[in-house]
Amino acid sequence: MKIIVEKDYENMSKTTMQLLLGKMYQDKSVHLAITAGSTPKRMYELLVEEMKEKAPLTNVSYYNFDEIPIGDEKYGVTIANLKAMYFDPAGIPEEQIHMLDTKNYLEHDAHLKEVGGLDAILIGIGEDGHFCGNLPGVTKFGDETRLVSVQSRPDMFDILLGEVGGDAEKVPEYYVTMGPKNVMQAKQVILFANGKKKAAIIKKALQGPVTEDIPSSIFQLHPNFTVVLDEEAASELNR
């Protein structure tokens, strides 16, 4: 595990971006799974800035690692968010974007196998220690990319309700997520987090026991695991 502590959110965002760019600027096909959500907001702004005034990096393929369908809308929560924050403003062509959804998730895995696996996956961490859609209570370390039912946890309906914008009609029966087993196959796992409210879980996930109660603790065992934090998120770590 390599932990990089930056003074603030701005620098955490910049360093994470540099990590991704370092992968992209290679003379080979590069396969990246990237996260949606609030943590990467600034990072994508910086990345969009970098992509301007430059020929597109056609060697890069992008993947989402989970998806929550919204009623019968064309795009689910994750892809809609990634499009808004990154793909559209950066002008990433559709053929470089490999969308995982509840229908194609088995081909997604097969495709990744065929192209030699993910070069890197960028993930955030929830205050409960979840990563991707791997929540405590519904996740086993051996889980692969799979559907997770709205009935898998008593509070799952409410969680999904929040994700789809509060309209109960649009809450799906299932969402899809890569599991610990698939994420562990990535050549590099990059986890980033900022803010005081992440400090406790960062301490547990990185320096506590490896346990399914904290799904992201599994990455302590990954051979190339890089963590980028701001000072606040790192504040409870033994350093």
Chain centroid offset of residue 10 CA? 19
Q: How far apart are CA 203 and CA 208, in angstroms?
A: 7
* Segment interacting with a second copy (CB under 8 A) among 73-81, 146-154, 157-165, 209-217: 209-217
For residue 111, indicate whether it is catalytic.
no
Q: Does 196 bind a second copy (CB under 8 A)?
A: no
Given 81, 101, 217, 233, the residue binding a second copy (CB under 8 A):
217
For residue 130, indicate whether it is catalytic.
yes
Catalytic residue among 31, 108, 130, 222: 130
Are the C-beta atoms of residues 64 and 36 closer than 8 Å to each other?
yes
Are the C-beta atoms of residues 77 and 37 closer than 8 Å to each other?
no
Are the C-beta atoms of residues 1 and 107 closer than 8 Å to each other?
no
Catalytic residue among 8, 88, 128, 155: 128
- 42 vs 170, beta carbon nearer a second copy: 42
Are the C-beta atoms of residues 43 and 230 closer than 8 Å to each other?
no
Surface-to-core class of residue 142, CB atoms within 10 Å of its CB (0-12 exposed, 13-18 middle, 19+ buried) = exposed
* Segment interacting with a second copy (CB under 8 A) among 64-72, 83-91, 94-102, 223-231: 223-231
Within a 10 A sphere around the Cβ of 140, how many other Cβ atoms?
12
Q: Taking CB under 8 A as the rule, which mask of x and - marks residues 81-120 in contact with a second copy?
A: --------------------------------xxxxx---
Catalytic residue among 66, 101, 109, 143: 66
Q: Does 55 bind a second copy (CB under 8 A)?
A: yes
Given 97, 99, 184, 237, the residue binding a second copy (CB under 8 A):
184
- Please give the structure tokens belonging to residue 70: 């919204």
The continuous run of DSSP H or E covering 211 comes out as none
Given 35, 145, 177, 188, the residue binding a second copy (CB under 8 A):
188
Surface-to-core class of residue 7, CB atoms within 10 Å of its CB (0-12 exposed, 13-18 middle, 19+ buried) = exposed
Binding region for a second copy (CB under 8 A): 1-2, 4-7, 11, 15, 17-23, 25-29, 50, 53-55, 59, 113-117, 140-142, 180-181, 184-188, 209-210, 217-218, 220-226, 228, 239
Residues labelled catalytic = 66, 128, 130
